[in-house]
Amino acid sequence: MSHVFSDETHRNLLSRIPHCTGREVADWLRTVEEGPSLFRFEEKVSWLRGEHDLAYGHAKAIVHEYDLRRAARKLL
């Protein structure tokens, strides 16, 4: 997983996603989960951008959050 943003920048981007996209972050995380089986971070970002017309920063923040939560589930 690549380092994307500082923690503060990441949180700020996530907080703006619902306003900018009209969808909650949880909806976007489900979209990534249910999307194509892409392995590389940038492939997921590119897919979100192309398929859902997201801004680059928002797509990166969503994929980064998805990867963080997925890693946390593996630790439990």
Q: What is the pLDDT of residue 1?
A: 46
pTM confidence score: 0.89
- Tens of pLDDT, residues 48-69: 999 999 999 999 999 999 999 9
Contacts of 74 (CB under 8 A, 6+ apart): none
At 25, the pLDDT band (50, 70, 90 cuts) reads very high
- Tens of pLDDT, residues 29-52: 999 999 999 999 999 999 999 999
- Is 11's pLDDT higher than 70? yes
Could you give the count of Cα atoms lying within 13 Å of 68 in the half-sphere of its Cβ? 13
